[in-house]
Amino acid sequence: MKHLQIDLSGATGSIPSDYFGRLQEIAKQSIDKLHEGKGAGNSFLGWLRLPSSVVEGELEEIETVAATLREQCEIVIVIGIGGSYLGARAVIEAISNSFDCMLAERKHPQIIYAGHNISEDYLLELVEFLKDKAFGLINISKSGTTTEPAIAFRILKKLLEEQAGKAVARNRIVAITDARRGALRNLADYEDYKSFVIPDNVGGRFSVLTPVGLLPIALAGVNIHELMNGARYMEKKSGRTVSLAENLAAQYAIARNYLYASGHKIEILANFHPKLHYLAEWWKQLYGESEGKENKGIFPAAVDLTTDLHSMGQWIQEGERSIFETVISVSAPNKRIAIPKDKDDFDGLNYLAGKRVDAVNKMAQLGTKLAHIDGGVPVIEISIPELTPYYVGELIYFFQKACGISGYMLGVNPFDQPGVEAYKKNMFALLNKPGFEAESEAIKARLQ
Ligand code: PA5
């Protein structure tokens, strides 16, 4: 069976061997710190052994709840923000049909996301869309107090109760939150909602392999057993006793830190498949929130190719040389379509007649890689054999493990996010939230 591969030849070819040896040493120390739980943020290391520690019974319970929602709902709104929604969306979009929401023969409810913004238009349009529809809600928040999902849930819960009645609504709401603390836990217990627990030792951006990701993913008809199997494989293959030569996550972490130290401050995650757009969004959060602190950290950006070659391609090719690129390559597409021959050939495409579209995509990918390397952009290539739940599971664990190693190599705590509180404090002060009186006074004085 084939597995995820990494090709660093376009990125680290010139790395001096003594420097490389030093980076390897730091990587080893980082892996030890992770596995011994001796580094910063060590109370959030539950994700390390999640794939192997989750038992089939837990997955079956998730599938049972997904089946109940499927029976009752034509639409399910997944409410959450950041780590409480990006992982689910990344996997669902990577695996689902691109036109899933328009397919008449869909076997699962349509999934819509909410609570990841505070747009009044978005919420009102959603409320209007849901009128007279049988819908359910999966409300996800570890803290249970995040403003964006709390507002969305309050509005949608009211709508659901008005449309279906309180008893039916209760059966169509699932809460995923902390075991004991937080407003959502209290509400779930009070209303007697079906609920799942987000383990204490798993932070939001590392939670896709908990019910946070698994329930919406199962609901969308994706095989969560296969997803976990792929993640389990990668857990084993990046374990503590695996040599650095075999440990692909460590190699990626070393390459990133080398490139960062040599002035490449921006990493662009590139894909050649629109289904991977949200995987890149998930990756941006994972690396951005984990590493961007203490005035350090690679800025994680993303492009969808070839789409963005017609916009950002110019910048990547000839802009400031502070970037490197990490390409996610999918070796074989799941579907086949060839370019037809045309008798008039007005578009001059007959030279491609009979070729599969993916063959053209692959040449675009290779041509882009060579052009970017020639333009002074180091290119890392991560390949998976196919877009299946198994390989997406490998990819998820690979990126998580590399993130933990890379963050420790950089010398930061990859498992906290103190910076995300700053906007909240100002917003609460501006909204006169109880408990923020002093901040309210201060911000009003500042704005006068
Ligand atoms: O990674 C994180 O910790 C954050 O992105 C959180 O997931 C996000 O802020 C949502 O938090 P919560 O799940 O507490 O609502």
- Which residue, of 193, 222, 251, is where some domain finishes? 222
pLDDT digits (tens, 9 = 90+) for 117-168: 999 999 999 999 999 999 999 999 998 889 999 999 999 999 999 999 999 9
391 and 275 within one domain: yes
162 and 100 within one domain: yes
| 441 in any annotated domain | no
- CATH number, domain with residue 351: 3.40.50.10490
Q: What is the pLDDT of residue 5?
A: 98
Q: What is the pLDDT of residue 144?
A: 86
Q: What is the pLDDT of residue 16?
A: 82
- Number of domain units in the chain: 2
What does the alpha-carbon distance between residue 413 and residue 305 come to, in Å, rounded to a whole number? 32
What does the alpha-carbon distance between residue 283 and residue 328 come to, in Å, rounded to a whole number? 12
239 and 377 within one domain: yes
203 and 71 within one domain: yes
Amino acid at 296: K
Helices 86-95 and 389-410: crossing angle in degrees, nearest 10, is: 140
Q: What is the DSSP string of 430-441?
A: HTT-TT-HHHHH
| 440 in any annotated domain | no
* Residues identified as active-site: 289, 310, 424
Residue whose CA is at the smallest distance from ligand 1 atom 8 = 82
Q: What is the pLDDT of residue 98?
A: 94
199 and 271 within one domain: no
Q: What is the pLDDT of residue 15?
A: 81
CA of 148 to the centre of ligand 1 (A): 11
pLDDT digits (tens, 9 = 90+) for 318-345: 999 999 999 999 999 999 999 999 999 9
Average pLDDT over residues 306-318: 97
Q: What is the pLDDT of residue 285?
A: 98
For ligand 1, is residue 378 a contact (CB within 6 Å)? no
| 45 in any annotated domain | no
Token pair listed for 219: 């609901």
- 225 pLDDT above the threshold of 90: yes
Q: What is the pLDDT of residue 104?
A: 79
Q: What is the pLDDT of residue 12?
A: 83
Closest CA to 290 of 414, 406, 392: 414
Q: Write the burial class of residue 191 (CB in 10 Å: 0-12 exposed, 13-18 middle, 19+ buried).
A: middle
Residue whose CA is at the smallest distance from ligand 1 atom 12 = 141
What does the alpha-carbon distance between residue 343 and residue 350 come to, in Å, rounded to a whole number? 9
What does the alpha-carbon distance between residue 218 and residue 193 come to, in Å, rounded to a whole number? 19
Which letter, b or e, does each residue of 84-97 get, where b requires 16 or more Cβ atoms within 10 Å of its Cβ?
Answer: bbbbbbbbbbbbbe
| 200 in any annotated domain | yes
- Which residue, of 222, 241, 267, is where some domain finishes? 222
67 and 32 within one domain: no
CA of 114 to the centre of ligand 1 (A): 14
271 and 314 within one domain: yes
111 and 95 within one domain: yes
- 14 pLDDT above the threshold of 90: no
| 415 in any annotated domain | no
| 156 in any annotated domain | yes
Q: What is the pLDDT of residue 87?
A: 98
CA of 207 to the centre of ligand 1 (A): 10
Q: Which domain holds residue 179?
A: 50-222
CA of 69 to the centre of ligand 1 (A): 24
For ligand 1, is residue 116 a contact (CB within 6 Å)? no
For ligand 1, is residue 87 a contact (CB within 6 Å)? no
At 101, is the pLDDT very low, low, confident or very high (cuts 50, 70, 90)? Answer: confident
- Which residue, of 206, 222, 238, is where some domain finishes? 222
Q: What is the pLDDT of residue 393?
A: 98
Query: Which value, in Å, is the radius of gyration of the alpha carbons in the chain?
Result: 23
Looking at 102-111, 139-148, 172-181, 391-400, which range is the least confident one? 102-111
260 and 126 within one domain: no
331 and 193 within one domain: no
> Mean pLDDT across the chain, nearest whole number?
96
Q: What is the pLDDT of residue 280?
A: 98
Probe residue for ligand 1, chosen from 47, 143, 399 as the CB with the greatest number of ligand atoms within 8 Å:
143
CA of 337 to the centre of ligand 1 (A): 40
- 59 pLDDT above the threshold of 80: yes
Probe residue for ligand 1, chosen from 78, 118, 139, 142 as the CB with the greatest number of ligand atoms within 8 Å:
142
For ligand 1, is residue 417 a contact (CB within 6 Å)? yes
Please give the number of the atom of ligand 1 that sits closest to the Cα of 83. 7
pLDDT digits (tens, 9 = 90+) for 27-45: 999 999 999 999 999 999 9
For ligand 1, is residue 177 a contact (CB within 6 Å)? no
Cα 441 vs. chain centroid, distance in angstroms? Answer: 38
Residue whose CA is at the smallest distance from ligand 1 atom 9 = 82
- 270 pLDDT above the threshold of 90: yes
pLDDT digits (tens, 9 = 90+) for 233-267: 999 999 999 999 999 999 999 999 999 999 999 99
At 107, is the pLDDT very low, low, confident or very high (cuts 50, 70, 90)? Answer: confident
For ligand 1, is residue 142 a contact (CB within 6 Å)? yes
214 and 126 within one domain: yes
- 17 pLDDT above the threshold of 90: no
Probe residue for ligand 1, chosen from 43, 47, 78, 81 as the CB with the greatest number of ligand atoms within 8 Å:
81
For ligand 1, is residue 84 a contact (CB within 6 Å)? yes
- 289 pLDDT above the threshold of 90: yes
Residue whose CA is at the smallest distance from ligand 1 atom 5 = 82
CA of 107 to the centre of ligand 1 (A): 30
- 350 pLDDT above the threshold of 90: yes
Measured from the Cβ of residue 254, the count of other Cβ atoms closer than 10 Å reads 25
For ligand 1, is residue 143 a contact (CB within 6 Å)? yes
- Residue 355, φ and ψ in degrees, nearest 5: -80, 150
| 316 in any annotated domain | yes
For ligand 1, is residue 256 a contact (CB within 6 Å)? no
Q: How far apart are the first and last CA of the chain?
A: 65
Q: Is 65 helix (H, G, I), strand (E, B) or coil?
A: helix
CA of 363 to the centre of ligand 1 (A): 39
For ligand 1, is residue 230 a contact (CB within 6 Å)? no
User: CA 280 → CA 40, 245, 304, 406, distances in Å?
Assistant: 26, 26, 9, 18
| 439 in any annotated domain | no
What does the alpha-carbon distance between residue 151 and residue 354 come to, in Å, rounded to a whole number? 53
pLDDT digits (tens, 9 = 90+) for 402-420: 999 999 999 999 999 999 9
Token pair listed for 5: 């591969």
153 and 119 within one domain: yes
H helices within 131-276, ranges in order?
147-164, 166-171, 183-191, 211-219, 224-237, 248-261
Please give the number of the atom of ligand 1 that sits closest to the Cα of 82. 5
- Please give the residue that has the higher pLDDT: either 83 or 14: 83
Please give the number of the atom of ligand 1 that sits closest to the Cα of 203. 3
